[in-house]
Chains A and B, each alone.
Chain A
Amino acid sequence: MIEFQAVTKRFDDGTVAVDDLNLSVDPGRITVFVGPSGCGKTTSLRMVNRMIDATSGTITVDGNDIRQSDPPLLRRGIGYVIQQAGLFPHRTVVDNVATVPMLAGWPRHKAKKRAVELLETVGLPAELGEKYPAQLSGGQQQRVGVARALAVDPPVLLMDEPFSAVDPVVREGLQDELLRLQDELGKTIVFVTHDIDEAIKLGDKVAVFRTGGVLAQYDKPSELLARPADNFVASFVGRDRGYRALGFLPASGLPIGELATVELGATAVDARSALRDGWAVVVDGARCPIGWVSEKHLATVDGEISRDSSLSGGSLYDVDNGSLRSALDAALSSPSALGVAVDSTGAVVGSVTADDVLSALAAARTAGEVPQ
Chain B
Amino acid sequence: MDFVSFLTSWLFDGTHWTGSDGVPARLSEHLGYTAVALAIAVAVGFPLGAAIGHTGRGGLILVGAANGLRALPTLGVLTIVVGIAGIGLVPPITALIVLAIPPVMAGTYAGIRAIEPITVDAARGVGMREWEVLLRVEIPNALPLIFGGVRSAALQVVSTATIAAFVGVGGLGRYVFDGLAVQDYAQVASGAVLVAALAIIVDVLFIGLQRLVVSPGLTSAKSKGTSS
Q: Check if A86 sits within 8 Å of B228, measured CB to CB.
A: no
Interface centre among A91, A92, A100, A165 (most CB of B within 10 A): A91
List, in ascending order, chain B residues with CB within 8 A of A90's CB: 137, 140-141, 143, 215, 217-218
Please, how many angstroms separate the alpha-carbon atoms of A51 and B119 in the complex? Answer: 14
Interface: B71 (CB within 8 A): no
Residue in A76, A77, A88, A149 whose CB lies within 8 Å of B119: A88
A99 to B141, CA, bound (A): 16
For B228, the chain A residues whose CB sits under 8 A away are 137-138, 165-167
Say yes or no: is B184 at the interface (Cβ < 8 Å to chain A).
no
The interface-forming segment of A116-124, A127-135, A360-368 is: A127-135
Of B121, B127, B137, B221, which contacts A133 at CB under 8 A? B221
Complex interface: chain A residues within 8 A of B220 (CB): 132, 135
A371 touches B (CB below 8 Å): no
Contacts of A148 in B (CB 8 A): 126
Number of residue pairs across A and B with beta carbons under 8 Å? 89
Query: Considering the complex, which residues of chain A in the window 75-99 have a beta carbon less than 8 Å from any beta carbon of chain B?
Result: 75-77, 80, 82-92, 99
Q: Select from chain A the residue with minimum beta-carbon distance to B115.
A: A89
Residues from 178 to 210 in B contacting A, C-beta threshold 8 Å: none
Contact size range, A: 20 to 34
A80:B221 contact, CB within 8 angstroms: no
Q: Given A91-B217, A132-B217 in contact, is the A86-B128 Cβ separation under 8 Å? A: no
Of the candidates A73, A88, A166, the one having the most CB atoms from chain B within 10 angstroms of its own CB is A88
Contacts A73-B127, A75-B127, A90-B215 given: A138-B227 contact, CB under 8 Å?
yes
Q: How far is the CB of A137 from chain B (nearest CB, A)?
A: 8
Q: Which residues of B contact A92 (CB under 8 A)?
A: 217
Q: Which of A49, A80, A88 contacts B137 (CB under 8 A)?
A: A88
A346 to B128, CA, bound (A): 47
How distant is the Cα of A91 from the Cα of B122 in the complex, in angstroms?
A: 13
**Which of B122, B216, B220, B228 has its CB near the most chain A CB atoms (within 10 A)?**
B122
Given contacts A75-B127, A83-B118, 13 further A-B contacts (CB under 8 A): A51-B125, A77-B127, A80-B122, A80-B125, A86-B116, A88-B141, A89-B217, A90-B143, A90-B217, A91-B215, A91-B217, A103-B132, A134-B217
